[in-house]
Amino acid sequence: MRGERFRVALASAVIFVLIVFMSFFYRFYRSAEAMENAVVFWIAAAVYFAIPVIWGVSVRRRILHARIRRDLYGITISMALLVVLRCLRYRIYSDVEPASQLLWFAYYIPMLLIPAFSYLAFLCVGRSEREPIPKRGIAVSVLSGLLILGIMTNGLHGLAFRLGRGAEDWTESDEYTYGPLYFAVVALILALIASMFVHLWRRCQLEHRGRRIAVPLSVLAVFIALGVVYVADPIPPYSHSLEIVVLVNMGTISLWEACLQTDLFPMNEQYREMFAASPIAAKIVDRDYHVHYASDTAMNLPTSVLIHAENGAIPLGNGTRLRSAPIAGGRVLWLEDVSEVERMLGALRDTGERLAENNELLAAEVELRRRRASVDEENRLYDRIASEVSGSLGKLDGLLAAESVDPADDARRLAAVCVIGAYVKRRSNLILIGERENTVAAAELGLCLRESLESLGAAGIETSLDAQSDGNLTKETAWLAYDVFEEAAERSLDGAKTIRAEYRASEGALLLRVRCEGVRFFFPDDWRREEIGRLGGALAVTAEEDRTTVTFRFNRYGRLDLCPASFAEPGGEEAES
């Protein structure tokens, strides 16, 4: 690559020498007729204009730093503007005043902008693109703008250029002297150039920086010498041996090329070396898969494999796969190391398997706990049922264990077993419903009463039920009402001929009245007294000579007239809880 860059630098030097030589020849050997020849003038102008344009186009390809590239674009535009001003002054407005005079003053616009942009670009060496412009860069920009304004208004104050003696206006004589503003311009240009190299010396971290910086310094020295020759030429303007456009433009381009070729500025070159030194195993191929760039670590794979990579990544084993992507004029192919990814995926798979096993264990544990909770709940319900109907179960055991004396006694015991059995069944069902739903439908209690009455009917007792119900009852109220009925039914087994039951329930209120014909009995005085009082109910037992009426009311959640007029209370002894 160094040999290639040397050839480029040598070709650039040869072109520069030829342009300078042509300029000398053009200035020394031209005649007045030749100068007035439009073809010769515009050919020279086209050459002068093309040089900065071509150099500016190369800047975009070679410069990476966005801010440096922007400043170099400003330099390119300034050099092209200098050529345009030359054409306007010497060809189009050569005899038009004050246009010709203003165009002459306008020469100093690009001549000040070129070193200003160059200084701003030098300030960017070693700085990030996102860093703000230093204050001294802003100061230089403002000062350059003020000097340009002073030069362009020289006709008002004469601080830059002054007419020679005996001349009344600029059209009569080309002899003039320099004022303090002119020397301020020259001083700023020289100061900016000196500051560039000082800043470059401080920022440069490359090897042999002294040798590198000596190259642009040598170029600067050559053009300073040419500038001295230009200024010292006694021939009036437009007769100098070297044109100012060539001197400024070629000097600027040569100085910048010297900096770029010595790596004092970051350039987007040395593709092949950078690509070869890349740690990524990659190749850049054309559309026919001819390799143009390849890294040192690139693998030699068959063309068929490279072509197949267009459809997607190709695993090559050992934790690598071949990738391909289109670029302008071809494709880039590279080996992607996925060993770490595969290792992580393997670890994730192992973790997933362990988590799946843990999830299965957790699910089994949750299911076991659920079943245990269900069993515990069932056991609790069974214990609750057993405790609630334990008395009735004891009665059943006693009845079943009793010895047979006579058929009539067996029939009575069998009838009692049927009644108590129906009660145990229905009472257990009410417990299950109440524990599950925390309430009991009023109609469900009616079904319990009906089944118990049917069991009494099987014992030879005439029964009837008048039931009207809707809504729900609290579970405690339903349980207690059924217990009241069962107590009355069991006490009526000996001698009862008819049992009539009336049941009303609505909006949480309840009335249960059981009339037992042919039997007279009482409830114990303390029968469920505390429970009835806690629930807000009322129990009354009315015993007559051959009839007993049991009435249970519950009005805690509503007021309801549940006694029909035709169902009058009979007279007799009454016990109330």
Tell me the average pLDDT of the chain: 78
Predicted confidence at residue 174, as pLDDT, reads 57
Measured CA to CA, the distance from residue 569 to residue 434 in angstroms comes to: 33
Predicted confidence at residue 419, as pLDDT, reads 83
| CA-to-CA separations, 153 to 95, 98, 242, in angstroms, rounded | 20, 12, 28
What is the chain's length? 577
Burial class (CB in 10 A: 0-12, 13-18, 19+), 166: exposed
Sign for the CA dihedral angle at 209, 215, 221, 223 comes to negative
CB atoms within 10 A of CB 344: 11
**Hey, which residues does 114 pair with through a beta bridge?**
none
Predicted confidence at residue 551, as pLDDT, reads 92
Q: Could you tell me the pTM of the whole model?
A: 0.49
| CA-to-CA separations, 139 to 133, 146, 186, 343, 555, in angstroms, rounded | 10, 11, 17, 58, 99
Of residues 6 and 96, the one with the higher pLDDT is 96
- pLDDT-derived band at 502 (thresholds 50, 70, 90) equals very high
Measured CA to CA, the distance from residue 380 to residue 386 in angstroms comes to: 10
Sign for the CA dihedral angle at 227, 15, 88, 70 comes to negative
Closest-CA residue to 226 (of 249, 258, 191, 251): 251
Of residues 241 and 217, the one with the higher pLDDT is 217
Predicted confidence at residue 77, as pLDDT, reads 92
> pLDDT per residue over 264-304, tens digit each?
776 665 566 666 767 777 888 888 888 877 877 777 878 88
DSSP letter string, 450-473? HHHHHHHHHTT-EEEEEEEE-SEE
Predicted confidence at residue 414, as pLDDT, reads 80
Predicted confidence at residue 15, as pLDDT, reads 53
- pLDDT-derived band at 37 (thresholds 50, 70, 90) equals low
Which of 70-74, 211-215, 343-347, 450-454 is predicted with the least confidence, judged by mean pLDDT?
211-215
Q: What is the Cα 223 distance to its own chain's centre? A: 58
> pLDDT per residue over 372-381, tens digit each?
877 777 777 7
User: How would you classify the pairing of strands 176-178 and 161-163?
Assistant: antiparallel
Predicted confidence at residue 170, as pLDDT, reads 56
Q: ∠ at Cα 208 (202, 213), nearest 5°?
A: 55
Measured CA to CA, the distance from residue 111 to residue 227 in angstroms comes to: 13
pLDDT at 334 over 80: yes
Sign for the CA dihedral angle at 308, 311, 316, 320 comes to positive
Which of 140-144, 228-232, 309-313 is predicted with the least confidence, judged by mean pLDDT?
228-232
Task: Tell me the range of 142-146, 221-225, 419-423 where mean pLDDT is highest.
Answer: 142-146
- pLDDT-derived band at 123 (thresholds 50, 70, 90) equals confident
- pLDDT-derived band at 503 (thresholds 50, 70, 90) equals very high
